[in-house]
Chains A and B, each alone.
Chain A
Amino acid sequence: MKISRIKAIAKKELIQIRRDPLSLAMAFLMPVMLLFIFGYAITLDVNNLETVVCDLDKSTLSRELVAEFGESEYFTIIDHVYSQREIDGYLDRGEALVAITIPQDFSEDIKKGRPAELQVIVDGSDSNSATIALGYISGVTGLFSKRIAVRQRPPLIDTRMRVWFNEELESRNYIIPGLIAVIMSVIAALLTSLTVAREWERGTMEQLISTPVKTPEFILGKLIPYFLIGFIDMLVSVLLAVFLFDVPMKGSLFLLAGLSSLFLFGGLSLGMLISIVAKSQLVASQIAMVATFLPAFLLSGFMYAIPNMPRPLQIITYAIPARYFVSMLKDIFLKGNPLHMLLFETALLGIFGLVVFGIANKKFKKRIE
């Protein structure tokens, strides 16, 4: 292996990227754009649920309860109505997602120490939001009943809950680190997926393979420029996460940089392998997209928790590098985990990179087939 040859290829590749606006856009704009789009679009928090209230009791207590709902950031009371028919109308038109009905004898029951009833209807067509809304509602009523109960007698169990690692229970905090991992999986493979295929398409490969350049020199030389680009993308993503999305960064930046490099090596090698096998830029970029985006999005534990998946799917996730990177990033960002707690992920990412790099070297033939 000659370092001078690797350097010559890397330099040539960098010049070509610099002169091609499309490559530049893909290298630097795409990851930022994806982070913006998905960062803002994917949120599992539910705020400002449109709510109609039907207060048939019209007592001080019932008004206090309604005010409680109104003041919470989770509900926005859009109207007060006085019949079931009007409630149906709001729900059918989709104008309200929650309807709360306070029956006539609500305050009477409470005063007499009888359990008071509260009727709540939630639009279940978005089951995720509905479940969350139900949780909020029982939260609000729970607090309310606790308060009025204290007026009468002290509570039996006083639960004090605390959430660890993501104290504000802000879904963005765990979505963004995972999202960075997903985006970097796609970008890494896409970046290199064009590079070998382009040389075949333009006819420059024929000249290149007639020279004494060795396969590992060729592949390493091609990887280096994209590694630099991928590293810059990673850096920009982390900066955006911390300063734009306010995600806490508790771990070591050096560890993050090191593990990102390991991940990039595997991701870029995968794109290179695809490019070598496909020999066409269009086919290669499409394969790279499908082979990375779907698994990284669905099977990495980013969207759906891996322990909840059926067993066969769980086994597949071990072959998806994004799986390790998603959990690494979450752990470093939110828990500040040190390397020795991430050894399993690190080892498997390393193995993935070496295997894919090895196959890419094997598949690249300095011949026209």
Chain B
Amino acid sequence: MNEQNIAVTVEGLTRTFGDFTAVEGISFSVSRGEIYGFLGPNGAGKSTTIKMLCGLLQPTGGDGTVGGFDIVRESEKIKKTIGYMSQKFSLYDDLSVEENITFFSGMYGVTGKTRKERKEWVLEMSGLKDRRAVITKTLPGGIKQRLALGCALLHEPPVLFLDEPTSGVDPVSRRNFWSLIYEMAKGGTTVFVTTHYMDEAEYCDRLALIYRGKIIAEGTPTELKVQYMRRSVLEIETDRTFEALEVLGRSGIETALFGSLLHAVVDDVETATPEIERELGKAGIKVIRVDKIMPSLEDVFVTLIESA
């Protein structure tokens, strides 16, 4: 990656709150036009990281740049070049759709003819053309999120930060939302997005897995699966899932619940399959099938966390 192509880069970024270290010495780079995902459970340090990148939170250690500006010393310049959408819906609930758009146009310094065009664009992309006078409070969650995204894009920022943009939104709206993110990226916008949905992480160009304030793995979704999963994943279907989980756990096989199925992580499929069938048979549990499958990101994540 050459300098010109880097949108975001951090080195040893750290943030502590008293005794608690929320983010511990993380380093990564995001190139222009990339969709970069930050995947991790709640409390892993995703929001803290994104707030430091947006110039909202002062790091306690390390440094970095966003759009070429220093995140410690030039946070106000960063704010001109980014769009930020926080985890919580943070437009004004008591303002109408149009009033919110007008207000944020003002904040981003979008005026005159551009303002009019951008307003129509936001109304279009959020599907609110006929509901511009509606008070924002009354809109459904998915629409609100689209409006919030639109407002963060009013000034056409080259870098976009999205903090859990789809939390609490129904699956259909989530998919629509992601097609918007794709469109942005196609137009050259760099998108930095945090999520705890594994399926969403699959949509990202590159991913960092963050756990307890540290990046535990980084790469494209496929790289992560191949690189970090040298062991194989077996999908097991039985008539009594919970009992089977207990039995396999007792016999030392690394097993996790996956919906109504079990995923077991094993070194050698050839020896493990008969062993699993034998153990379950001894406990009187009927094995319907055992298949080797392509590991999902969740498998990767679970394995990495267990070894962390």
Contacts and interface: CB of A to CB of B under 8 A. Distances in A.
* Among A4, A15, A207, residue most surrounded by chain B Cβ atoms (within 10 Å): A207
Contacts of A367: 55-58, 75
B39 interface: no
Given A16-B95, A203-B86, A211 B104 contact: yes
- Chief secondary structure at chain A's binding surface: helix
Interface residues of B, number: 34
A224 to B, nearest CB: 14
Interface in A64-117: none
B54 to A, nearest CB: 5
B92 A204 contact: yes
Given A9-B106, A208-B107, A368-B56, A20 B90 contact: no
A212 interface: yes
Contacts of B91: 204, 207
A250 interface: no
B111 A4 contact: yes
Interface residues of A, number: 27
B75 A212 contact: no
B74 to A, nearest CB: 12
B88 A203 contact: yes
A210 B56 contact: yes
Contacts of B152: 207
Interface string B118-140: 00000000000000000000000
Contacts of A211: 79, 104, 107-108
A203 B88 CA distance: 7
Contacts of B88: 203, 206
Interface string A191-226: 000000000001110111111111000000000000
B99 interface: yes
A203 B51 contact: no
B56, B111, B148, B152 — most chain A CB neighbours (10 Å):
B56
A96 B105 CA distance: 72
A27 to B, nearest CB: 16
Interface of A: 2, 4-5, 7-9, 11-12, 15-16, 19-20, 202-204, 206-214, 366-368
Given A4-B106, A5-B109, 15 more contacts: A5-B107, A8-B102, A8-B107, A11-B103, A203-B90, A204-B92, A207-B86, A207-B90, A207-B91, A210-B84, A212-B76, A212-B80, A366-B79, A367-B58, A368-B57
Interface of B: 51, 54-58, 75-76, 79-80, 82, 84, 86, 88-95, 99, 102-109, 111, 148, 151-152
